[in-house]
Structure 1
Amino acid sequence: MSVGVVVIVGATSGIGRATARAFADRGDRLVLAARAARTLAEVRAECADADVLIVPTDVSEPGALEALADAAIERFGRIDVWVHTAAVMAYGRFDELPERVFDQVVRTDLLAAAGAARVALRHFRATGAGTLILTGSVLGHITAPYMSAYVASKWGLQGLARTVQQELRDTPEIRLCLVNPGSVDTPVYQQAANYLGRVGRPPPPVAGPQRVARTIVDCVDRPRREVSVGRLNVVMRFGFTVLPGVYDVLVGPLMRLAGLSGRTVAAHDGSVFAANPAGEAVRGGHLPDLRHVARSVSGPVGAALRRRFG
């Protein structure tokens, strides 16, 4: 396994932050991008054993992704892997969600992912090889009420990824992998814009972000067109496709029961338009925190636990 140059977009929170740590553990050289410069510096410190360049980047700004690629090439001379995890979320009935919020979620979650793919693929075609990893969602295959902008973005990303994969068939050394998590313990739910009045949460079963990060890293060594992360993803996709009437009857009550907490909240834009460094972390607090257990165990077992849960 050779040391590579890995660009990670959305590196300050959740899956992106866990992925940065996972690639750092491999010894790869990292280019970490996100909106919050202060939090990027924290992530760089967490990846202290790796050679890390941080590039504050707002993916929704024109030219930002091209500038990120230029910075990576200037520092390291090449890009081997581009991982795009940047995403925002909004809760609300479609007709009650402000148009500007809906549009910004789509701009960030779909159009910026398309922009990242465009920049990465142009570089890979010039060099003849590379791996692009996009982070989709099980919500790119199914739907859920009160999340229209996010669902529309992930369905669009699914179609984009499949189309580009077809176009890459004549260049086997350039790979595009789509990683589709189900519910993950990240802060994105608390950070979401909310015009529904109840704070969102990931419905069970919930996976840890480190599990998704391991899947992303594994895609570099074993590229696959699409990887699902989540025990119930296949079941939900089956119900949505084969039993659509039953699915539509059940999904609303289940969403209100499992996908929304009992905590009420006034309408707000969350982190859709601006970063909220105070809310950025690897985990969202929806699973038991096993870090203290990892810290108390010494030797190789403790080191492995710290990599998984730290």
Structure 2
Amino acid sequence: MMNNRETVKTAIVTGASSGVGLATAEAFATAGYNLVIAARGAEGLEKAADRCIALGAEVLAVPTDMAKAEDVEMLVNKAIVKFGEIDVWINNAGVMASGKFEEIPMVICEQVIKTNLMGYMHGAYYVLPIFKNQKKGILINNVSIAGYMPAPYSAIYTATKHGIRGMMNGIQGEVSNFPNIHICNIYPQVQQSTGNSHSAKYSGLAFKVPPFAADPKDTAALILKLAKSPKKDNFPDKTSFLLNSVYTLFPKFITNATSTSMRVMMKLKDGEPTDGNVLKPSQDPLQIYGETSMPVPSKSTKNIISAALIVGVGLLVLKTFGKSKSSI
């Protein structure tokens, strides 16, 4: 059944075979969008397409390696042939490698840069001419809180996220004379997604998603909201906003504290090294949620904990301010 182009918009979601990408594809399918979904693995992509079709969407699944410019150019071309226009592009595909900087193989480090930073560059590079020709379009980038603060023992991953943030800030200025073209960036904290189980780990690291991680469906809901009401910079939940606020106040302390906790984890776990999904498509589980280290608390419990942390940080700031004032 063909959709009416005048009433149905088209969204492209990259990294759509699992985690936040799959949650986002389902959210847009439920909202009535035409969908073009992309990921490296054909099997995961087919499963994602079936789920979105069951939700009523018209779906085009295109196996795509975002690290390869020619793949991304083909993705854009196929989307235009199928649906005529692209209304929303979601840069989401990404990989992560954690461990001591010098112990992560160079081939892994380089691929993280290619997939994350260059992947987002490829997406923007090929969709922006479409947007300019249409004189409208929304580019949404799932950046990560690591775009503001370093992820411990994930230096290359952090570099890519800082790079994405800088690149998109530059592009924002270039399209400022197009009132209906928008660049939106989101900075979520750790997700209860499959991202952790799929990531590369070295130096003895072996960990599961913490129970207070964010719900991928909440992140997807924000992405859908931005497609309707675009806003440049966004923190999906109280925790991501709080993390950035605390880091802004105490960057050295937070960086050292999180790195210390990771060092302890390396010694306790001493896990076997794995290259995860960095060099190959994601394997099972190809789903939204990943395995957590403990039962996940309710949203109300998370809100109480977040509020307590905010109060604690406020008291710490007041105490620090008081000491500095008394020393004058």
Q: Give the TM-score, by structure 2 length.
A: 0.83
Shift of 1:77: 1.0
Secondary structure in 1 matching 2:212: coil
The within-5 A match list for 1:89-108 is 89-108=96-115
Is 1:36 aligned to residue 51 of structure 2? no
| Aligned 1:18-33 pairs, distance under 5 A | 18-33=23-38
* Paired residues of 1:83 and 1:132 also in contact (CA < 8 A): yes
After TM superposition, the structure 1 = structure 2 runs for residues 224-235 of structure 1, keeping only pairs within 5 Å, are 224-235=231-242
Deviation at 1:198, TM superposition (A): 2.1
Aligned counterparts of 2:238 and 2:267: Cα–Cα separation in 1: 22
Give the one of 132, 139, 148 matched to 1:141: 148
1:252 is displaced (CA, Å) by 1.8
- The answer to whether the 8 A contact 1:180-1:229 is kept is yes
Deviation at 1:280, TM superposition (A): 2.1
**Counterpart check, 1:279 vs 2:279:** no
The CA distance in 1 between the partners of 2:166 and 2:90, in whole Å, is: 18
Equivalent of 1:160 in 167, 174, 179: 167
Q: Distance in 2 between matches of 1:124 and 1:134?
A: 15
SS of 2:254 mapped into structure 1: helix
Aligned residues of 2:208 and 2:291 also touching (Cα < 8 A)? no
Question: Which residue of structure 2 aligns with residue 305 of structure 1?
Answer: none
Q: How far 1:256 sits from its partner (Å)? A: 4.9
- 1:192 corresponds to which residue? 199
Q: Which residue of 2 aligns with 1:307?
A: none
- Number of aligned residues: 289
Contact 2:186/2:233 (8 A) holds in 1: yes
**Residue 83 of structure 1: CA displacement?**
0.7
Q: Mark the runs of 5 or more structure 2 residues left unpaired by the alignment.
A: 1-5, 298-328
1:17 maps to what in 2? 22
Deviation at 1:84, TM superposition (A): 1.2
- Per-residue deviation, 1:279: 3.0
Distance 1:119 1:170 in 2: 19
Post-superposition Cα deviations, 1:176-217, rounded to whole Å, max 9, x if no partner, equal 111111111111111111112122344453111100000000
Task: Assess if the C-alpha contact under 8 Å between 2:112 and 2:157 holds in 1.
Answer: yes
Amino acid aligned to 2:275: D
Between the aligned residues of both structures, percent identity stands at 31
Whichever of the two has the greater Rg, that structure is: 2
| Aligned equivalent of 1:178 | 185
> Which residue type is aligned with residue 9 of structure 1?
T
Deviation per CA, 1:253-275: give whole Å up to 9, x if none. 34456x87965432221110101
Aligned to 1:113: 120
Pairwise CA RMSD: 2.1
Q: Any stretches of 5+ residues in structure 1 without a counterpart?
A: 291-310
Please show how residues 50-69 of structure 1 align to structure 2 within 5 Å.
Answer: 50-69=57-76
After TM superposition, the structure 1 stretch with the greater mean CA deviation from structure 2, 232-241 or 104-113, is 232-241
Determine which structure has the larger strand proportion and give its number: 1
Q: Secondary structure at the match of 2:238?
A: coil
Residue 113 (structure 1) shift: 0.3
- Quickly say closer, same or farther: Cα 1:279–1:263, change in 2 above 3 A: farther
Q: Is the 8 A contact 1:200 1:260 kept in 2?
A: no
